[in-house]
Amino acid sequence: MTKKPDFKTFTANSLTRLAMTATLLAALPVLGIYGCTQMPTEKQGVSDIRPQISFKATDTQQHAARVIVDGLDMGSLGSYLDGIAALRIISGTHQLRVVLGSQILLDEKFYAGDGVNRTFLIQ
């Protein structure tokens, strides 16, 4: 005994399916627009091209020496060892002194341009 399909149930189910399909088809373009939008991923950075100076010391006791650039004490020589750290300065001519107690280890006037990395040997 097969049951005959009820026309009202069949029509209601068909209309429901049709309404759901129409809603889905209307929503797809909106989802497609927002789904394809992506925030820019480009990173921009500014490289620092200021000149840098560092030091090589022959004796570890010299690491306590003071670095003086243009009359300003910039800290100990051990803070600017070659290969570890460098002191960034502005481009131009500078007077550099390295002093350990009352002894002057280095007294030099030099020019440093943009992008220059210069290492001074302290003996």
Give the CATH number, domain containing residue 99.
Answer: 2.60.40.1120
Rg (CA), the chain: 37
Residue 95 lies in a domain: yes
pLDDT tops 90 at residue 3:
no
What is the rounded average pLDDT for all residues in the chain?
A: 83
Q: C-alpha angle with apex 33: 32 to 34, nearest 5 degrees?
A: 95
For the chain, how many structural domains are there in total?
Answer: 1
Residue 14 lies in a domain: no
Residue 17 lies in a domain: no
Residue 3 lies in a domain: no
Residue 68 lies in a domain: yes
Listed in sequence order, the residues at least 6 apart from 82 whose beta carbon sits closer than 8 Å to its beta carbon are: 54, 55, 56, 119
Is-contact 105 62, C-beta < 8 A? yes
Strand partners of residue 57: 122
Residue 21 lies in a domain: no
pTM: 0.62
Which one, of 113, 91, 102, lies nearest residue 66 by Cα? 102
Write the pLDDT tens digit of every residue in 46-92: 788 999 999 999 889 999 999 999 999 999 999 999 999 999 999 99
Residue 71 lies in a domain: yes
Residue 35 has which token pair?
């789904």
Percent of the chain with pLDDT over 90: 57
| Structural domain boundaries, residue 118 | 52-122
Q: What is the pLDDT of residue 94?
A: 96
Which one, of 10, 13, 9, lies nearest residue 21 by Cα? 13
Residue 72 lies in a domain: yes
